[in-house]
Structure 1
């Protein structure tokens, strides 16, 4: 999709990678006109403001999205829409028609997760949130503004619910860390991925009582400043951006306490909402809320 260019001191050249998310996206407003067969269901970032039927079996959709990092859509056939209205947002799940029971479970879990993150970080600001289950190869989920895609295998009753619930929480956490507070995912992929991982584990810990292995494995400090372009493999990318990033946050909890970490993240969201934040921006917020010099801790992770 077209996205708003980023104004900075450096050029943002196009970079393609077989792993990671090689993007740096500014919040923007979108107005989309989309023409599809009438039998198809359109699911997208933003809201369908108007749907106009035509005489030829097609229809035109006018879609509007405000203050979003990107715009994504799915055109579905033979899918069921499930809806749950909460105090935070109207949540919609799109599933194959024969998977309603499992779809309802994911709908309820999504509501719980959005409520938890809204209480801990700041309110989810959009009217709707959507999750779409689709065939996927090579990964389990993908985040976009107001919308996430999940592997349709999650709807199988024998699938590992612990794993699918973590992926669900991780992708929803990206609505805050990537969606609301943006970052350069090429230069600093740890910023959103590590925080999304840690946020998902905090939900599972606080609500489900499930502990993360990273909480007890903080002996290895990884250099988090490595850029995506300098990473040589998918394994290295996950070790730095995901595992290293989440370990930074678990370690920070031990240093300053969980309450101050959440307080720092609420300030981080308030100060950088709809903006692109950097590692120095985040570290400055942490020091402000910690009320002490944190250089000794930061030096372990940023070499």
Structure 2
């Protein structure tokens, strides 16, 4: 009897231990961690349901896409437009290779493109045409006018060839980058349809918030990092299927590799994943820590990050690139000698989750608005993590000196707030959009104090979270918070 009782006691203890371990290993992080959607109705924004099958041998994929488009404009629409960015990579002469054609070896370049095979509504085929510079616009003609607040579900099928480019879109030796990879609805704003091409310069994207359900089929050995929340991974035979959910995000990106390993961290309500290629325990630990510190600080100063998942991805890429819930970080920065640069890049791209991801803007027409705030966010992070002395040094070394030296070599004008087509190269773009724009934010700090600047950033985030904001919107917040006319400051720094 005693032996049986002891056995039952031990069994009970074991069950509780196993349950405890299971809970520890399967912590669930929600797709969205808040219920305050800033007056956005999740049922009244565009919804992308995409099923994609990746062929890693041929470097192609096929897509089936159901887009529920909602007419949130103030007019009746007889046509719709979608960006189809993969066509920008058809030829090496026109491909948007970052930092020019000298940024990488393009001698053996194989182009990429997207072929649209079908566009239907209710099984009825629609007339469409491929237009725009580099054929990056899909123009769909509707059979019936789409009235204000009405919705329409459009079905598309497409085949895509990936280019040999270690870029936002393309593949290298170990990773496949899939940024701007699917047809995404063009923004219709107060100026009408925005049909800008995929410029080589800057981040030439402008999109509305939406919901995403994405199913990705890959080889069973492939690991996928993505925007949103990976709900499940299932393997059948040689195929793996990922089911992914993204809510209230303005784009969806992913990276695939058979070499990825995953490390995890957690900060407040968000799980951080680091997808890395090479074993380097100290850099893995450091990268997770940078991500945690960034989100913790920006949560407190700007406003809460509302997503339960954030992925930092080591990939073949020349620098860093932001997408909602995921950032691409060039593998070269994970070498020990670049540890300070790695911190700067992770912090910068993480700040973009607020300035671009949550508070959107037209990166084609007003690139400074997200980049200037993001660059100055590096100063905020340094000040908070490493102390005011190092924060001041970071501001001097990385922004003030860079601006003072760089402005002497500008080839044309020093106007910050202008469209991408008016910049001559990455040289003047970098000095103006990143550095001079950050100097403008720093002058607000110098003139009104840190507390007032932080209040401005919190109010701006609070008012425009999930929306697209403009320069005028930001200045309006500045003037309201400080009760000061900003005309002279704007003329000094932005025009």
TM-score if structure 2 supplies the norm length? Answer: 0.58
Q: Which stretch of structure 1 is more off in the superposition, 117-126 or 150-159?
A: 150-159
- Work out which of the residue numbers 146, 153, 157 in structure 1 matches 2:332: 153
Partner of 2:130: none
- Give the distance between the partners of 2:285 and 2:385, measured in 1 at CA: 19
- Work out which of the residue numbers 466, 470, 484 in structure 2 matches 1:274: 466
Aligned-residue CA RMSD (Å): 1.8
Once the two structures are superposed, what CA deviation does each residue of 1:182-231 show, in whole Å capped at 9, x if it has no partner? Answer: 00001000000111000012111232132212357888794222211111
- Give the distance between the partners of 2:226 and 2:188, measured in 1 at CA: 27
1:64-213 map, 5 Å: 64-137=245-318, 140-159=319-338, 161-209=339-387, 210=390, 211=393, 212-213=395-396
The ranges of structure 1 where at least 4 consecutive aligned residues each deviate by more than 4 angstroms after the TM superposition are 215-222
For residue 115 of structure 1, report the CA deviation from its aligned partner. Answer: 0.3
- Give the distance between the partners of 1:16 and 1:294, measured in 2 at CA: 33
| CA spacing shift, 1:217–1:39, aligned 2, 3 Å | closer
Partner of 1:21: 203
| CA spacing shift, 1:217–1:42, aligned 2, 3 Å | closer
Once the two structures are superposed, what CA deviation does each residue of 1:143-174 show, in whole Å capped at 9, x if it has no partner? Answer: 00000011112221222x22221111111000
Once the two structures are superposed, what CA deviation does each residue of 1:22-68 show, in whole Å capped at 9, x if it has no partner? Answer: 1111111111111101111111001122323223x102222110011
- Give the distance between the partners of 1:185 and 1:69, measured in 2 at CA: 13
- Give the distance between the partners of 2:310 and 2:340, measured in 1 at CA: 22
| CA spacing shift, 1:59–1:192, aligned 2, 3 Å | same
CA contact (8 A) 1:88 1:123 kept: no
- Work out which of the residue numbers 455, 460, 478 in structure 2 matches 1:263: 455
- Give the distance between the partners of 2:188 and 2:482, measured in 1 at CA: 31
CA contact (8 A) 2:320 2:327 kept: yes
| CA spacing shift, 1:202–1:119, aligned 2, 3 Å | same
- Give the distance between the partners of 2:253 and 2:344, measured in 1 at CA: 23
Which has the bigger relative contact order, CA under 8 A and spacing at least 6?
1
CA contact (8 A) 2:373 2:438 kept: yes
Aligned length: 299
- Give the distance between the partners of 2:467 and 2:349, measured in 1 at CA: 20
CA contact (8 A) 2:196 2:364 kept: no
Rg (Cα) greater in structure? 2
Partner of 1:33: 215
- Give the distance between the partners of 2:222 and 2:208, measured in 1 at CA: 30
- Give the distance between the partners of 2:494 and 2:222, measured in 1 at CA: 49
CA contact (8 A) 2:334 2:342 kept: no
Structure 2: runs of 5 or more not aligned: 1-181, 408-412
- Give the distance between the partners of 2:265 and 2:359, measured in 1 at CA: 26
Partner of 2:436: 244
Structure 1: runs of 5 or more not aligned: none
CA contact (8 A) 1:166 1:201 kept: no
CA contact (8 A) 1:88 1:114 kept: no
Q: Which stretch of structure 1 is more off in the superposition, 205-214 or 17-26?
A: 205-214
